[in-house]
Amino acid sequence: MHFYYLSTFWILTSNSLTSATPSKGRKTCTVKASGTNKTDDAPAIRSAFSECSRQARIVFNPTTYYVNSVLNITGLEDVEIDIQGTLLWSTDIPYWLNNSLPVGYQNQSTAFVLGGNNLKINGYGTGTFNGNGDYWYEWIRQQPNSSNYPGRPHQITFNGLTNSIVKGVNFLRSQMWTMSIIHSHNSVWQDILVNNTGNKFQSSNTDGADTMFSSHLHFHNWTVHNGDDSISFKANSTSMRLTDSRFHGGLGIAIGSIGQLADVFETVQDISAANVYFQDTLHAFYVKTWTGDRNGYPPNGGGGGRGFASGLRLTNLTTRDVRGAALAVSQCTRFKGAPGQGNCTNSRFQIRDVVVEGLRGSTKSARVASLQCSAVAPCTGIALSGVDLRFGNGTAVGGYLCGHVGVREGWDCTGEVCEGGSATGEC
């Protein structure tokens, strides 16, 4: 098993990126669990990371740790983190709404910030973060603002994670987004399970992962069951790789939303996905930008941003019963409860150089593609090949709806696209 360093990014050369085997001779801090949800284990966790913050090893035993308060652990250097048990977040919703930590993007917040250089985080396939999301999913249904509710935390934010690997960790019933990844570079997440399926209610905004201001990240062998973006590449995400993964029930691979901050220039560049399976997702791949008008402020309002998404390459995508257009663009992002978004074709954020090679499987939609692009900065360089989508009865699907799409390769528009507000890629 080998790494080859190419353009400061790890290239996969075998079935496993690394064994993440613990090193001998390191100082080890074992986190002692209280054994009761009435006692907060967060102080013990913070203490262990404080004592073993450099060239050391942190061990979570095969038991349950009750996390009743926020964790902010950054600045680690060369630390192995063995997660053999479960970290279970408390259900004290008022506490989390009032104390969750800022992510640094879109006015979002989080329950746990973790960052450092050369970290090896291993869950061995059993280590688990459990956000106790059932309580959140029921609670959010009763609120007038069910999208991006202020203070509703992400389960974990990797902030400033560099030259690191996260392997074999399960993320269950996240409170909102599972993980936000910000200011992180040259790192790998592999053999990851995300399951945000509720026992009683389902919830939106349970993204599998969201990246921003990060580069050279590799997501390998992911399985995601959720109710929103399976994985989303947001502002200033560069050189991202997604390989050999399976997405169930969510929205698929997303670019954005982006262009939310007025007059701010943002980009998404060099994104690739290969060998990805989609079951009962809304899309396989979609892009969502805000309009050229600013209406309100993040997280639910905004618009007027500038920039581009370029170099998006997807190969060997397999679908089973996707619910909407397999490929979609909406440049009129609108969230529930947000102010009116105005003109749906005046975004100054451009989508260009998108290549899809190999898109096969079944669909419930008559649309292969629904591309609602900007008249101000039209989509261009959209190349599709090897597309074969069929209804369950075997009938081929051939609908390509588009508006303001420039250079096309391998396909033609068959009709006009709907122009209207959307948070999920099609109006």
Question: Residue 352 and residue 368: Cα distance in Å, rounded?
Answer: 18
- The H-assigned helical ranges of 24-86 are 42-51
26-38 exposure pattern, b = at least 16 Cβ within 10 A, e = fewer: eeebebebbeeee
- The H-assigned helical ranges of 85-132 are 93-99
Phi, psi for 397 (deg, rounded to 5): -105, 135
Under DSSP, is residue 216 helix (H, G, I), strand (E, B) or coil? strand
Task: Dig out the tokens for 374 from the structure.
Answer: 């900007």
Question: Residue 403 and residue 417: Cα distance in Å, rounded?
Answer: 6
C-alpha torsion sign, points 114, 116, 117, 119: negative
Read off the amino acid at residue 198: G
CB 131 within 8 A of CB 173: yes
Active-site annotation holder among 191, 228, 293, 353: 228
Question: Residue 88 and residue 68: Cα distance in Å, rounded?
Answer: 8
> Is residue 228 annotated as part of the catalytic site, yes or no?
yes
Instruction: Assign residue 142 a region (left: φ > 0; alpha: ψ between -120 and 50; beta: otherwise).
Output: alpha
CB 289 within 8 A of CB 257: yes
Question: Residue 377 and residue 114: Cα distance in Å, rounded?
Answer: 38
Residue in 77, 175, 164, 81 with CA at minimum distance from that of residue 123: 81
Write out the H or E segment, with its range, that includes residue 140: helix 133-140
Contacts of 297 (CB under 8 A, 6+ apart): 107
Instruction: Assign residue 2 a region (left: φ > 0; alpha: ψ between -120 and 50; beta: otherwise).
Output: beta
Where in the sequence numbering do the catalytic residues fall? 228
